[in-house]
Amino acid sequence: MKTFAIAIFAISLISPNNVKSRVADHSVAVQGNDANERSREILVSFNKTKHEVREVYGLRREKYKQIHSEAAVRASLADYAGRYKVPDLGYMIVIVRDASGMVVTGSDSQDNAQGRRFHLENVQLDQALLTGTKIYDNGAQAPFEGLFINMTDYEGTSPTEVTHRATTFGLGVVGVSIKAGDVTSYKIFYHFEP
């Protein structure tokens, strides 16, 4: 019983309020850890594995597909400069250098109507995590959060028999709402176009 009471006391000493006051001087490290955690969450949302086995009239058919994403960390936003597009939707993000530094612009849609232009303000890059605020031409604002990703697509009949492998670099953006028919997606992948 004494051990239990000591453990409870020790836990109360490291409560979140006490931890915050002790690490207040290390806010940069805490933000970095938050960015790392958020990056992992975004990566998980872009990963997928599907292994299907069907047997019909004694014939066994297998299909295997895996999408594995890894953060594509580069030194600065300038290293990500270029055009990023979503095939078939017309969405676009462009990262360029101008006289004032790096500029991020793009276009997306609202209710599947094409062509709402925006630029990003308060742009921050923490490793591969890009955040900011979308400012649309009409003055509307929306949060922006995306992760630069190397996305590898594996296809075959099983995890040990992969017949196709391709890696695509791009920007995975979350917090969006894209509706196609009866399906709504809350993430989108912009492919880099050199």
Q: What is the pLDDT of residue 23?
A: 26
In a domain, 139, yes or no: yes
Residue type, 126: D
In a domain, 20, yes or no: no
pTM, 2 dp: 0.75
In a domain, 78, yes or no: yes
Structural domain boundaries, residue 130: 27-193
Residue type, 22: R
In a domain, 107, yes or no: yes
Residue type, 181: G
**Taking 50 as the threshold, does the pLDDT of residue 27 lie above it?**
no
**Taking 60 as the threshold, does the pLDDT of residue 28 lie above it?**
no
The total of structural domains in the chain comes to 1
In a domain, 48, yes or no: yes
**Taking 90 as the threshold, does the pLDDT of residue 31 lie above it?**
no
What value does the mean pLDDT take over residues 96-105? 87
pLDDT category, 25, cuts 50, 70, 90?
A: very low
Cβ 124 vs Cβ 133: under 8 Å: no
| Least trusted range by pLDDT, from 80-94, 121-135, 147-161, 169-183 | 169-183
What value does the mean pLDDT take over residues 138-145? 92
